[in-house]
Amino acid sequence: MRRLILRRAVAFLATLFVVSLLVFTVVRVLPGDPALLIMGTEGSPEAAAALRRAMGLDRPIPVQYVEWLGGVLRGDLGRSIQYDVGVGRLILSRLAVTLPLTVLAAVFMTLAAVPLGVYAATRNGRAGDYVTMLLSQLGIAVPSFWAGLLLILLFAVRLGWVQAGGFDGWAAGLWSGLRALLLPAFALGVVQAAILTRTTRAAVLEVLRADYVRTGRAKGLSERTLTWKHVVRNALLTIVTILGLQLGQLLTGSIVLENVFYLPGLGRLALGAISARDLPVVQGVVLFVAATVVTLNFVVDILYAVLDPRIRYE
Amino acid sequence: MAGSLGLGWLRGTAALLAVGFGLGILGLAKPSVAVAQGPALVVQITAEPPGLDLTATPASATATVVFYNIQEALVKVDAQGRLVPWLAERWHTTDNLNYTFFLRKGVRFHNGRELTAADVKFVLDRARNPETKHPHARQYEDIVTIHVRDPLTVTIALKRTNAMFIYNLARQGSVIYPREAVDQQKSQPVGTGPFALERWDRGDRIVLKRNPDYHVSGLPKLDRVTFRFIPDANAALAALQAGDIDVMAFGLGPESVELVRRAPNLQLIQGETTSDVILALNNSRKPYSDVRVRRAITHAIDKPEVVKGAMFGFGRVLGSNIDPLNPYFVDMAKAVPYDPARAKQLLMEAGYPSGFEAVLKVPPQYPYTVRTGEVLVAQLAKVGVRVKLEQIEWGQWLDRVYKNADYDMSIIGHAEAWDAGNYANPKYYYRYESARFQEVFAESERTLDEKKRRELYVQLQKIMADEAPVIWLYAYPRLVAAKKGVQGIWKDLPTPSLDLSEVGWAK
């Protein structure tokens, strides 16, 4: 286990190094720069050029990179051009929205998808199975921003139960915060839930065909014990793999929903920073997300070992 | 009788106390911090400002929030587009070179200090210093000296007459701020405006609070203004319908106007802006360097159809770059009429009997550019000009099209007022070089006589229509959706601001 962690730590740092190099170069090679975007079509080109020099963007890219990397190693991600605050602080404040949103969506997704998938598999070929599959097909087909808008129109505009969007901060109370995140989390979770339902159903069906299930049934195990203790446990390996991948997709999908529900989250920060060429923010967010995804993968690997005693990574 | 009355009073009070106590315990009573003290307004804006320093960015998002609300200038462009004395209560000049400004007495910045002539000198000296990277340093280049005569009087000396001088002092880049707050402009701007900045929650909202010492008595009418950044037009409309916001200031698409008109609790404010939507042509490239080709393209475009197809009929057809809010505006819409037969003939004369191919670059960040482009592609195809529509991201558009003039055709709205000078600048991305235009424009900049200046501007508009350096399509309409009861929002937008000083709720 120690060797595994050590190997992972080296891979972790190497990945982040490559990511940092890539993102740093790409945002600088891209046409358009922050000075140009700040001045727009109305500022004079001379002012844009002077601003570019003042930002140090006319220096060679390797020099800029080394300087930035030095800051990152000291824990300083730089300062946002657009917002005039530290990038680290900015990311943390946005996580307060995106993290609960993603977790809530993941909870929705798992609570809905796993039981539904198991249900469909055990009703294979019967009405319950068809209805579940039809619903999940619908869930995959509906784009999340559209689902989000429909939810807003129904629950906020027509019924007036919740606000149409926005987030007043956790300081306004736990319930106020949760209420603001319910609709977007649902819209975000629905698509992934549909995918997970189908995966779960397939995984459970696969296991149901195994010999030991027949044996279990023959020795008189109740259908309930059989399903939840033997079948689902063995299907979990596939489910957890997909779930791990989906967590990453929830993070990406949150960009779209943060826009529709105008939530001040990490996704909107990234999107806005790319269009404004707020280079320190783009670099900081990409690095942060890369670190998160690599860590998530690591956790999934450990979970494998826990779930399947045969995997112990020598 | 008296006894029973007393008892009723007692019982009522007891009941009220009990309910109040119960609510308090249950935490159902609203926390006092969330209750606004007086009238408040929540305004949606599409884009978040890239910093709040008007002397560092010409972004309209910054001007919307800061200009006239937090910071003001010596002169103001009012709702009718007129220049009115503002922080300067009057000025005079005898030779059109030395202007003496008399500041209004008792105007205080939000930090409590009184506005003085030394602030005016500091602000303008800084603006014309190229080191400070003011977006429009050139607007102050005719200033030679700024002399503080006494705390409320300042004289500005120019090296030559400049007809735009007073107007330039009314622009957003000429706001007066206290010299001690110069370094905090980007995130904590201080000014003399009706509102002071309370907080800026990055990525979410900007909150302004009432300035109790505002120099115009009785204003502002609101205690608090919240700007919320909602980029998605559908989301903003839903928020307005749900009552989360009170005003949708920008970003109401013409496609949603009917919906606002039919909603019983909403009102539509419709007016003009200074934004000219144009089909830009690269005059340094063939075949656009040939005036016959440019005229042919103009004849090939049915502008009323463009407005109908791309803007649902909203927007005024244009024939030159002078917008309808400009005092010298002359309607040139029919100067070069829609005439596809003439267009084909001109193309033949120019040596393109079977037309040519072109790439039209549009930034989808502004949806009207894409919709307008689609209509133009169809119209130009009828005279043999085969146009390929290419959507490019805004940052790339600025780099490729605007900075490097690497394009054939493009569509964009130019929002700045009084921007005819761009056609006198051959380095501007139109790459238009006309000695005739440059000469008349230069003369107009030095002519102060109102009548003569008007004549020169009429001449400029005729040259533009005749030489067709670009094709002016329509003036972008001002479309604002607000809750019924919101009053005092400007109908037209002669200057890039969202002046909320006189905005309030109907009693």
- The answer to whether B230 contacts chain A (CB < 8 Å) is yes
Q: At what angle do helices A266-275 and A279-307 cross, to 10 degrees?
A: 140
**pLDDT reading at B37 higher than 70:** no
Q: Which amino acid is at B28?
A: L
Joined together, the tokens standing for residue B403 give 């900075």
- At A311 the pLDDT is 66
Q: How much of chain A is in helix, strand and coil states, percent to nearest 5?
A: 80, 0, 20
Whole-number Å distance between alpha carbons of A72 and A57:
18
Segment B109-116 mean pLDDT: 96
pLDDT, tens digit, 9 for 90 and up, residues B48-72? 998 999 999 988 899 999 999 999 9
Q: Which of A26, A152, A158, A262 best tests the B interface by mutation, with the highest count of B CBs <10 A? A: A262
Q: Do A36 and B135 touch (CB under 8 A)?
A: no
**Which of A149, A164, A272 is closest, CB to CB, to B242?**
A164
d(CA B37, CA B40): 8
Section B274-283 average pLDDT:
95
Q: What is the mean pLDDT of chain B?
A: 90
Tell me the pLDDT tens digit for each residue of B138-190. 899 999 999 999 999 999 999 999 999 999 999 999 999 999 999 999 999 99
CB of A241 within 8 A of CB of A308?
Answer: no
CA distances A91 to A33, A97, A174, A265, Å, are: 22, 10, 21, 9
Give tens-digit pLDDT for B414-441: 988 888 999 999 999 999 999 999 999 9
Question: What string of DSSP letters covers B327-358?
Answer: TT----TTTS---HHHHHHHHHHTT-TT-EEE
The pLDDT-based confidence of B35 (bands split at 50, 70, 90) is very low
Model confidence at B28, pLDDT cuts 50, 70, 90, reads very low
Grouping H, G, I as helix, E, B as strand and the rest as coil, residue B271 is: strand
Q: Is the pLDDT of residue B24 over 70?
A: no
Report which DSSP code applies to A276: T
Q: Does B23 touch chain A (CB under 8 A)?
A: no
Using an 8 Å Cβ cutoff, are B155 and B147 in contact? yes
* B450 in A contact zone (CB under 8 Å): no
Of A42, A153, A268, the CB nearest to B135: A42
Q: What is the pLDDT of residue B19?
A: 39
Give the A:B interface size as CB pairs under 8 Å.
153
Q: How close does chain B come to A56, measured CA to CA in Å? A: 14
User: What was the pLDDT predicted at B23?
Assistant: 38
Q: What is the 3-state secondary structure (H, E, C) of B484-501?
A: CCEECCCCCECCCCCCCC
Which chain A residue's Cα is nearest to B45? A262
Q: Could you report the per-residue pLDDT of B228-263, keeping only the tens digit for each?
A: 999 888 889 999 999 999 999 988 999 999 999 999
B477 has pLDDT over 50:
yes
What's the complex ipTM?
A: 0.83
Which residues, other chains included, contact A269 with Cβ-Cβ below 8 Å and sequence gap of 6+? A90, A91, A94, A281, A285, B203
Find the radius of gyration of the CA atoms of chain B.
27
8 Å CB contact between A313 and A4:
yes
Cα(B65)–Cα(B43) distance, rounded to whole angstroms? 10
B84 band by pLDDT with thresholds 50, 70 and 90: very high
Checking if the pLDDT of B15 tops 90, the result is: no
A32 with B204: Cβ contact below 8 A: no
CA distance B100 to B94: 10
Nearest to B416 among A42, A81, A259 (CB): A42
Predicted pLDDT of residue A238? 85
For B422, the closest chain A residue by CA position comes to A42
> How many whole angstroms separate alpha carbon B119 and alpha carbon B182?
11
Which of A82, A90, A262 comes nearest B50 by C-beta?
A82
3-state DSSP percent of chain B in helix, strand and coil, to 5: 35, 25, 40
One DSSP character per residue, B170-239 reads TSGGG----GGGGGGTTTS---SSSEEEEEEETTTEEEEEE-TT-SSTT----SEEEEEE---HHHHHHH
Q: What angle do CA B206, B209, B213 make, to 5 degrees?
A: 145
Q: Is the dihedral of CA B268, B272, B273, B278 positive or negative?
A: positive
Q: Is B349 in the A-facing interface, judged by CB distances under 8 Å?
A: no
- Residue B278: band (very low, low, confident or very high) from pLDDT cuts 50, 70, 90: very high
B465 sits in which H/E element? helix B450-467
Nearest-neighbour CA in chain A from B376: distance (Å): 23
Asked if B407 has any chain A CB less than 8 Å from its own CB, the reply is no
The whole-angstrom separation of Cα B388 and Cα B410 is 11
Farthest CA pair distance, chain A: 85
**For residue range B188-198, what is the model confidence (pLDDT) as tens digits?**
999 999 999 99
Contact B463, B476 (CB under 8 A): no
Contacts of A171 in chain B (CB under 8 A): none
Residues 284-343 of B with CB under 8 A from A: none
pLDDT along chain A (314 residues), means of 10: 77 88 89 87 83 88 92 91 92 92 92 91 88 90 87 87 85 86 91 91 88 87 84 85 84 86 91 90 91 80 75 58
CB B408 within 8 A of CB B360: yes
Most B-contacting residue of A27, A58, A83 (CB-CB within 10 A), to test interface:
A83
Residues 113-142 of B with CB under 8 A from A: 130-131, 133-138
Identify whether the C-beta of residue A156 lies closer than 8 Å to the C-beta of residue A164. Answer: yes
Nearest chain B residue to A53, by CA: B133
Instruction: List the single residue in A50, A94, A276 with the smallest CB-CB distance to B133.
Output: A50
Q: With beta carbons under 8 A apart, name residues in chain A contacting B231.
A: 259, 262
The residue among B207, B211, B219 whose CA lies nearest residue B195 is B211
The arithmetic mean of pLDDT across residues B199-228, rounded, is 95
Q: What are phi and psi of B45, to 5 degrees?
A: -125, 150
Rg (CA), chain A: 24
Sole residue written with tokens 């490729």: B400
Q: Do A39 and B57 touch (CB under 8 A)?
A: yes
Structure tokens at B299: 């004849």
Q: Which residues of B touch A29 (CB under 8 A)?
A: none
Is the whole model's pTM more than 0.90, yes or no? no
Chain A residues touching B242 at Cβ < 8 A: 152, 156-157, 160, 163-164
Q: Say which amino acid occupies B234.
A: N
DSSP string computed for B357-402: EEEEEE-TTSHHHHHHHHHHHHHHHTTTEEEEEEE--HHHHIIIII
Rounded Cα distance, B504 and B485, in Å: 8
Contact present, B46 and B58 (Cβ < 8 Å) = no
Predicted pLDDT at A313 = 55
d(CA B23, nearest CA chain A) in Å:
16
**What is the distance between the alpha carbons of residues A158 and A236, in angstroms, rounded to a whole number?**
41
